[in-house]
């Protein structure tokens, strides 16, 4: 019995067993955790601007201008699925006020167009196609409306709320609802005072698992630019008191980095277009981003703990252009090849704590749900040892963010024998941190957490050798 109790006491004393972690919150909700795991999905800007070659419509365009000759939302979804995207967010109503569904609360909709003799419904076709292909369905609906006669009056907030209810009732479930803060003049020359609190309460009441994007969330924030790039320091936390979407948003550098001691879990989403513009323009057919450019954006968005929302606009026929689809599939192939062979899985794994060495591998076992609790990060190191020596140029780190985001600073040491051949200093890790560098032959990789808010729970430490041409010098 004494021996049995000793064994139990010894096991409980090991790092990662039952020792309580000292966690600093806030932490993500279940819908936010699921959002983090999405990582990459598509934006679809489509509407009258597609046919007028504008980026911002005036709201005075004739409804008949919207007339895709061969709308095929199933084609959009086939391409998205083949590209590894997890969902599609569509511009159901842009600033021009044109509704891609036959809304009862507007006379500027597909119902008034000649497309399908006024019987068409883009949201219905896309929501059905997303279900068929196993993709999440999201909706962008601009609060600005350059067409609606009630815009600029108190009555418009009721109109906007009714449109939101209509969309959820007819096309749900909706995984992400996208609001920007655009607030210009309506047809009566007035600007609207948006009732953001009411808008948020409405969505929470009818669809509590939907995540809402805006400059200040409440669930997902803008990254502060439209280049698809998150800050190298990227906290999933944000203070929102006194801020509103649009002109009342926090400074862009704050949106890019987050707040280290932010009171709310509001992670960053990186929106960027595969083309120079957001809507399709034929003259941009030769300006589609290459697979390599998209890969670099992936490293600077998903690889910095954010999500990547890549805009791929359908053309006037209502399909995704071949040049865009080729780039997307090339992008998918680069990701697959680059992250196919995780060298950490066959490495010898050690956890060094307070002068002791433990043969623990939870931090590099290929399962992001398992993790290593270092207890006191000032006394702990995570080691990968290779025999024979391996050539690597990429390290992927993951933090168990369901408990919160803790790491403030870390160091990676690349060793050959006892010699450190490269030392890399990092700040935040979060959901995923991808670090690239010119290839180095290593016998070991050591991760040391040098500063943290609380106990950093490391769930994965992956190593790769990717194509050197993909490494930005």
pLDDT in tens, 108-121: 999 999 999 999 99
| Three-class SS state of 464 | strand
Which residue's entry shows tokens 């806030």? 26
Model confidence at 1: pLDDT above 60: no
Residue-level pLDDT at 292 = 98
Asked if 175 and 210 touch (Cβ cutoff 8 Å), the reply is yes
Residue-level pLDDT at 209 = 98
Model confidence at 16: pLDDT above 50: no
CB neighbourhood size of 189 (10 A): 7
Model confidence at 73: pLDDT above 60: yes
Residue-level pLDDT at 19 = 60
Model confidence at 13: pLDDT above 60: no
Model confidence at 328, in pLDDT bands (50, 70, 90)? very high
Q: What integer best gives the mean pLDDT of the chain?
A: 94
Model confidence at 461, in pLDDT bands (50, 70, 90)? very high
Which residue's entry shows tokens 């068409």? 120
Which residue's entry shows tokens 């993790």? 371
Residue-level pLDDT at 18 = 43
Model confidence at 446: pLDDT above 50: yes
Dump pLDDT digits (tens) for 218-231: 999 999 999 999 99
- Domain locations along the chain: 30-338, 341-470
Exposure letters 49-76 (e unless 16+ CB within 10 A, then b):
bbbeebeebebebebebbbbeebbbbbb
Chain centroid to CA 72: 26
Give the whole-angstrom CA distance, residue 445 versus residue 395.
9
Cα dihedral 195, 199, 202, 203 in deg (nearest 10): -170
Give the whole-angstrom CA distance, residue 176 versus residue 195.
20
Dump pLDDT digits (tens) for 349-408: 999 988 899 988 999 999 999 999 888 888 889 999 999 999 999 999 999 999 999 999
Which range has the top average pLDDT, 6-20, 140-154, 372-386? 140-154
Asked if 440 and 465 touch (Cβ cutoff 8 Å), the reply is no
451: left (phi over 0), alpha (psi -120 to 50) or beta: beta
Dump pLDDT digits (tens) for 268-295: 999 999 999 999 999 999 999 999 999 9
Percentage, residues of the chain above pLDDT 70: 96
Give the whole-angstrom CA distance, residue 119 versus residue 134.
26
Q: For residues 22 and 344, which has the higher predicted lDDT (pLDDT)?
A: 344
Q: What is the mean pLDDT of residues 408-412?
A: 97
Residue-level pLDDT at 333 = 98
**What CATH architecture applies to the domain 30-338?**
Alpha-Beta Barrel (3.20)
Model confidence at 187: pLDDT above 50: yes
Q: For residues 374 and 173, which has the higher predicted lDDT (pLDDT)?
A: 173
Model confidence at 21, in pLDDT bands (50, 70, 90)? confident
Provide the pairing of β-strand 433-452 with 407-416: antiparallel
The lowest-confidence range among 22-31, 73-82, 197-206, 266-275 is: 22-31
What sign does the dihedral 34-38-39-41 (CA atoms) show?
negative
Closest CA to 34 of 226, 222, 176, 178: 176
Asked if 35 and 211 touch (Cβ cutoff 8 Å), the reply is yes
Q: For residues 257 and 14, which has the higher predicted lDDT (pLDDT)?
A: 257
Asked if 10 and 3 touch (Cβ cutoff 8 Å), the reply is no
61 Cβ contact list (under 8 Å, min separation 6): 48, 52, 96, 98
Chain centroid to CA 459: 19
Q: What is the mean pLDDT of residues 66-74?
A: 98
Residue-level pLDDT at 370 = 93
Give the whole-angstrom CA distance, residue 17 versus residue 382.
16
Angle between helices 322-338 and 73-82 (to 10 degrees): 20
| Three-class SS state of 438 | strand
Question: What would the CATH number be for the domain defined by 341-470?
Answer: 2.60.120.260
3-class SS shares of the chain: helix, strand, coil, % to 5: 30, 25, 45
Measured at the CA of 319, the angle between CA 314 and CA 323, to 5 degrees, comes to 75
Closest CA to 218 of 179, 266, 185: 266
Residue-level pLDDT at 374 = 87
Give the whole-angstrom CA distance, residue 204 versus residue 212.
9
- Measured in degrees and rounded to the nearest 5, phi and psi for residue 464 equal -145, 160
DSSP code for 288: P
């Amino acid at each position: 019995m004494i021996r049995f109790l000793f064994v139990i006491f010894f096991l409980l004393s090991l790092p990662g067993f039952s020792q309580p972690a000292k966690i600093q919150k806030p932490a993500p909700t279940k819908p936010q955790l699921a959002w983090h795991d999405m990582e990459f999905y598509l934006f679809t800007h489509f509407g009258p601007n597609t046919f007028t070659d504008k980026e911002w419509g005036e709201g005075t365009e004739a409804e008949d201008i919207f007339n895709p000759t061969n709308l095929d939302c199933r084609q959009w979804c086939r391409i998205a699925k083949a590209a590894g995207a997890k969902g599609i967010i569509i511009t159901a109503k842009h600033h021009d006020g044109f509704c891609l569904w036959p809304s009862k609360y507007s006379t500027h909709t597909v119902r008034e167009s000649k497309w399908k003799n006024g019987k068409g419904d883009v949201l219905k076709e896309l929501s059905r196609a997303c279900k068929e292909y196993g993709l999440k369905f999201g909706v962008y609906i601009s609060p600005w409306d350059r067409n609606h006669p009630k815009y600029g009056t108190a009555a418009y907030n009721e109109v906007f709320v009714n449109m939101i209810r209509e969309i959820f009732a007819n096309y749900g479930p909706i995984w992400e609802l996208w609001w920007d803060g655009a607030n210009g003049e309506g047809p009566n020359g007035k600007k609207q005072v948006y009732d953001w609190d009411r808008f948020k309460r409405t969505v929470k009441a009818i669809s509590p698992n939907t995540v809402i994007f805006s400059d200040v969330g409440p669930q997902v924030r803008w990254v502060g630019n439209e280049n698809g790039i998150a800050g190298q320091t990227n906290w999933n936390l944000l203070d929102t008191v006194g801020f509103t979407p649009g002109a009342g948003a926090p400074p862009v550098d704050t949106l890019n980095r987050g707040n280290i001691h932010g009171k709310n879990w509001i992670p960053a989403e990186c929106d960027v277009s595969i083309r120079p513009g957001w809507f399709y323009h034929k003259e941009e057919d030769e300006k589609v981003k290459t697979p390599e450019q998209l890969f670099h954006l992936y490293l600077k968005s998903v690889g910095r703990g954010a999500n990547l929302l890549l805009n791929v606009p359908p053309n006037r026929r209502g399909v995704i252009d071949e040049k865009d689809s080729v780039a997307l599939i090339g992008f998918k192939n680069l990701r697959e090849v680059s992250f196919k062979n995780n060298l950490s899985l066959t490495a010898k794994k050690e956890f060094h704590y307070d002068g002791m060495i433990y043969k623990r591998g939870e931090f590099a076992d290929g399962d992001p749900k398992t993790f290593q609790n270092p207890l006191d990060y000032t006394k702990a190191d995570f080691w990968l040892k290779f025999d024979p020596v391996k050539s690597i140029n990429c390290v992927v780190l993951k933090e168990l963010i369901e408990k919160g985001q803790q790491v403030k600073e870390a160091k990676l040491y690349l060793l050959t024998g006892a010699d450190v051949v490269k030392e890399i200093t990092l700040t935040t890790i979060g959901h995923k941190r991808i670090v690239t560098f010119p290839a180095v032959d290593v016998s070991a990789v050591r991760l040391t957490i040098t500063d943290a808010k609380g106990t950093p729970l490391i769930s994965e430490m992956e190593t790769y050798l990717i194509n050197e041409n993909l490494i930005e010098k």
